[in-house]
Structure 1
Amino acid sequence: MTTMKSVRTGEQNKIDVVDAERPSPGPKDALVRIRACGICGTDTHFLHLGGVPFGPGGSMVSLPLGHEPAGEVVEVGAEVRGLKAGDRVVVNPQGAPSGIIGCGGALGGMSEYLLIEDAVVGRSVTVFPDTVPFDVAALNEPMAVARHCVNRSEAKPADKVVVFGAGPIGLGATIWLKLRGVEHVVVADVIPERLRTALAVGADAVIDSAAEDVTARLTELHGPAANALGQPRAGTDIYIDAAGVPAVFNTTVESAKWGAKLVMVAVQKKSDAIDLGGMLRSELTLVASQGYPTEIFEVTPELVEHQELFARLISHRVPFSEVGRAYELAMTPGAAEKVVVTFEP
């Protein structure tokens, strides 16, 4: 049996690097040698849980990790069209028949090799040029999440937007908003280094929400307006929650003018601290954004075109031989912006 190294959830807050059987592609499959894979907040969530509650009685079950892979095709089945050995590809984690790759499915992208089941170009994978480094290509999946959020916002060039949370999704949304031609984009966060990155990728202004009055600052930046009761509010049109904490929701409610929109892309935990009733004062529209129904490969050409801009989102590139350190960085609040694990060619 030919084996490969693969990362799975271990004990709570720990990973296991295991020897697994290297997949053999069937006639409709392709085999990809992984060259880079990003670590996402979803990965750390599974690690905090110690797996997924799929076992008997809801017991925790270990699962393979990694849903942000990029790699090189090494073998294709006889019925696969449009792919050949040597092609560099990014993967649609939601395109696997056996379940979402790295998110509860049977396969994980944080492995030396990944089987692409029923490989179809444009559905399960797409090819990118060799001018793009693998670590940047591994941003394709999170940038599709960010792009869907911006699409859901329906932001127009004249809109004034604030993005809460300068992690990869918030920064990705900032890039997409500016490429979309949005006039003024503000990013709010509590970590100065992340705010500096926000300015580097095109934000027009930033707010340190730990030290500044967000409503007052937004009013200064976006002008004065009022809510449905005539109370003074900021002139911000769209609020994007890429942080997922009650303070963001409540700050939006306190700041929102009549007819403003809140797009929620971060996962909000259940909380009694959220002021849902306050939405009435502004007739605030709440829009949820989940995944990337169409955006997974729509983003790839622009990721290629603007690769140097997107590369700024990567704070740490860690070799697979130190994958444990990579997950420790990702699980330590404030220690890293975006961690990408790289594999030797």
Structure 2
Amino acid sequence: MKAVVCQDAQLRVEDLPEPVPEPGQALLAVERCGICGSDLHMRHHCGELHAVGRKVGYGHVLPVASEPVVLGHELCCEVLDYGPGSERRIKPGTRVVAQPLLRLGQEIHLAGLSPRATGGYAERMLLQESALVPVPNGLPADLAALTEPMAVGWHAVRRSEIRRKDVAVVVGCGPVGLAVICLLKAMGVGIIVASDFSAGRREKARQCGAHVLVDPAEGSPFAPRPGEAFIRDLPQLLELSLGTREKLGKLPVPWHAAWRLVERLGVGAPKRPVVFECVGVPGVLQQLIDGAPLMSRIVVAGVCMQVDRFEPALAIHKEIELRFVFGHSPLEYRDTLHMIAEGKVDCAPMVTGVTGLAGVAESFDALRDPERHAKILIDPRRIGGLAAA
């Protein structure tokens, strides 16, 4: 079978042996595979990813630059067959998506991120049978293949604990930021602010559901807007604290009892935005700590591959809350697929191109231009290179 192999930062189409499923494994024909930011990182920052993997007990599974690996984990496939002794609950011919998981001996490998588990830049691949999720409602392969990146967005939104009445600020409108915006819109969040230097990405953010578009070269995503009541300096916070104490002290009940009741009811708390960092470049986190209002919650979804620095004392004095997010659970993955299939999430604007295996290297280069592309899908059955979606 044909596949795109990445080795020493080079991408080339090769003929590889046909994969043979073992017990519990499914043989799949790849219909679409998205090119993920992780794939771009893997090509040029394989060593850094390997080093991070070692720190979480997974480095021996991830490749080094000299090892050949078939990338691709944003998948939509057709079931062809199963290994001996498999449950076979999903019939061959069924369109499926799946978290890219494959058991090899006692280890679970991430398909597309392991030299031993072929990813979706190939005509065929293996995945664990238990990871397969049938695609409902006749959802086209182009949209079904977005389940994985959209599930990353859904996990970030869920971990943020954002509420509909909150203000969301999405910094960086690449594929991760656009996925977050789509899911925030599906949740019904009332105000979604999208910030990016690229006019093309800002337009994609608008199509995905952002209400306010900001070019950070011209203004701040944290600029005051009518109706907002964020705390922007320490004197404001001190006034809120002491002022509340004085007001409650005038009630015919002990002030501390009234304060506890107010907290229990969830009212009176300082308003703050929920900020999604979706850039992954050194210095951005410090910029957000500098600019965000007091009490802000920052959810870090962008993958920064370099060592970064920020000012803890400033974050402490502003009581900034940092949350780092990664991946998704099987339930989040399944629910994301069904939200797309039921029309609750419109992620179609994200797809900007499609290519055959021969055009993967060209597509990697094209993704450097944020004005042209957001998400490029690989169709291994397609003859030819990159074309607009």
TM-score > 0.5, shorter chain as reference: yes
> Percentage identity across aligned positions?
28
> TM-score by structure 1 length?
0.87
Give the match for residue 150 of structure 1.
157
CA distance in structure 1 between the partners assigned to 2:226 and 2:178 by the alignment: 19
Question: How far off is 1:272 after superposition?
Answer: 5.3
- For residue 325 of structure 1, what is the aligned residue in structure 2? 362
Q: 2:97 aligns to what? A: 90
CA gap of 1:135–1:258, structure 2 versus 1, over 3 A, is same
CA contact (8 A) 1:303 1:310 kept: yes
Matched, 1:8 2:5: yes
Q: Quote the residue 2:72 is aligned against.
A: 66
Using a 3 Å threshold, how does the CA distance of structure 1 residues 74 and 135 change in structure 2: closer, same or farther? Answer: same
2: CA distance between counterparts of 1:24 and 1:111?
A: 14
Q: Tell me the distance in 1 between the aligned counterparts of 2:74 and 2:151.
A: 11
Residue 291 of structure 1: which of 323, 327, 332 is its match? 327
Contact 2:101 2:127 (C-alpha < 8 Å) held by counterparts:
no
* Structure 2 gap segments, 5+ residues each: 51-58, 238-269, 383-389
**2:278 corresponds to which residue?**
242
1:187 to 194, 199, 210: 194
Tell me the TM-score normalized by structure 2.
0.78
8 Å Cα contact 1:31/1:76 also seen in 2: yes
* 8 A contact 1:188–1:206 mirrored in 2: yes
Q: Please state whether the residue corresponding to 1:214 is helix, strand or coil.
A: coil
Gaps of 5+ in 1: none
Matched residue type, 1:64:
V
Matches within 5 A, 1:190-205: 190-205=197-212
Matched, 1:169 2:180: no
> Which residue of 2 is the match for residue 48 of structure 1?
44
- 1:341 partner amino acid: I
C-alpha distance after superposition, 1:12-43 (max 9, x if no partner): 3x212211111122343211100100011111
Preserved contact between residue 39 and residue 330 of structure 1 (Cα < 8 Å): no
Contact 1:144 1:292 in 2 (8 A): yes
The structural deviation recorded for 1:116 is: 1.9
Give the structure with higher Rg (CA). Answer: 2
> What are the within-5 Å matches in structure 2 for residues 224-303 of structure 1?
224-227=229-232, 229-230=234-235, 236-271=272-307, 273-294=309-330, 295-303=332-340
CA distance in 2: counterparts of 1:15 and 1:221, whole angstroms: 50
1:212-223 → structure 2 map (5 Å cutoff)? 212-216=219-223, 219-220=224-225, 223=228
Q: Does 1:33 align with 2:39?
A: no
- Partner SS, residue 182 of structure 2: helix
The one of 17, 24, 36 aligned to 2:13: 17
How well do the aligned residues superpose, as a CA RMSD in angstroms? 2.6
